[in-house]
Structure 1
Amino acid sequence: MSLILPFGDKHPAIAPDAFVAPNATVIGDTGIGARSSIWFGVVIRGDVNSIRIGSDTNIQDGSVVHVTRAKFATEIGSGVTIGHLALVHGCRLEDHCFVGMQATVMDGCVIESQGMLAAGALLTPGKRIAAGELWAGRPAKLMRRLDTDELRNITETAAHYARLGATYRAQLATAC
């Protein structure tokens, strides 16, 4: 069973058709939108500020989403993919962007719609990835513009994970 915990007087608000894996943790002032999927081992900790996650977003296995006290909430739009073992902290991820596996997004960063941060990249505080850009490296820097296949893949990946999350939610409902 997922660990869904209040923090103080703040309780997570999770859409009824979202999938939250049995060993995921969701704490405090956190909202999770319709058809979003929170995968195995994910920690979403809205304790000292708020976290908002739109619809059809997937946060993959082992990722951590947190906030910065009194300064940066975390806002994650709709149709966003956050790859396995990523760290997303006090930032804004706009609709239909992509954060690669083991990437780190630090305080005050913005990834615009259809922006992509490559696997393993470190986006240092306050950086902004514009729409259609690919950033990579540690620290991350602009590499190039995304092509049409890569842009389409962002949308297709989010749709795939929304369907997969629904399958898992249905399977778990019948297994209990």
Structure 2
Amino acid sequence: MVEKKKDPTNFKRDRREPCVKDFRSNPSFHITPFEGKSPQFDETVFIDPSARLIGDVVLGPHVSIFPFALLRADSNRIIVGERSVILDKVLVESPGKEPVIIEERVLISHGAMLHGCVVRQGAIVGIGAIVLDRAEVGRNSIVGAGSVVPPGMKIPDDSLVLGIPAKVVRTLTDDERKRSADQLTEAYEKSRKYMKIFLEKP
């Protein structure tokens, strides 16, 4: 009996396997090289199978990418720092001249959009918020849900930012900074539980 050759275009896989391991042995549509540049990450990273990474995406250690997030780096680089969490349905895009830099321990909440911007260490971008080209979110700052940070805006460290267009409302309290850190920890720990599910054997 002649052994049937494996079709290299068949990207079906056991959904219980972690997608990091899967990509190394069998690249699938959700990890997409573009013009010679491929997403880069190590075995500590969690990427939900429904998320998609395209092009020059660089993920630091222990980064977590939740369901249906899209990181599209087909024009410039996207960098995500260590232990940062990108939640469900987030869109991150780096346009022609503007990379996206997300520093360490950042939380990008559900449905947020980042376009050619910088988010500094410990910051939170709230649910459905938009941060536009050349804007910079300061360390430990919070961009409130639904806010729109206009192009070029520089948000100071430890600031609460709200509105359309976004404006600095006040400096964060110590309690708010602690709650931000707790939210990040909770999301990170949940991602590790999902990672364990994919690693479990039947």
Distance 2:161 2:120 in 1: 15
Q: CA deviation at 1:92?
A: 0.6
1:99 equivalent in structure 2: 125
Deviations 1:124-169 (A, max 9, x none): 0000111111110011111111111111122222222221111111
Query: Aligned AA for 2:194?
Result: Y
- State whether structure 2 residue 157 is matched by structure 1 residue 131: yes
Greater share of residues in strand? 1
2:107 equivalent in structure 1: 81
2:38 equivalent in structure 1: 11
What is the root-mean-square deviation in Å for CA atoms of aligned residues? 1.2
**How many pairs align?**
175
- State whether structure 2 residue 99 is matched by structure 1 residue 34: no
Q: CA deviation at 1:6?
A: 0.4
SS at structure 1 position matched to 2:77: strand
**Unmatched tracts of structure 1, length 5 or more:** none
Which has the greater radius of gyration? Answer: 2
TM superposition score normalised by structure 1: 0.96
* Mapping 1:1-176, distance limit 5 Å: 3-69=30-96, 71-174=97-200
SS at structure 2 position matched to 1:171: helix
Deviations 1:31-50 (A, max 9, x none): 11111110001000011000
Distance 1:161 1:91 in 2: 23
**Unmatched tracts of structure 2, length 5 or more:** 1-14, 20-29
Distance 1:119 1:154 in 2: 14
Asked if the contact 1:36/1:165 (under 8 Å) is kept, the reply is no
Distance 1:151 1:44 in 2: 27
Q: Which runs of at least 4 in structure 1 moved beyond 3 Å after TM superposition?
A: none
After TM superposition, the structure 1 stretch with the greater mean CA deviation from structure 2, 3-12 or 149-158, is 149-158
Query: Aligned AA for 2:74?
Result: D
Query: Aligned AA for 1:147?
Result: T
Query: Aligned AA for 1:92?
Result: V
Q: CA deviation at 1:14?
A: 1.4
TM superposition score normalised by structure 2: 0.84
SS at structure 2 position matched to 1:160: helix
After TM superposition, the structure 1 stretch with the greater mean CA deviation from structure 2, 145-154 or 38-47, is 145-154
Distance 1:125 1:135 in 2: 15
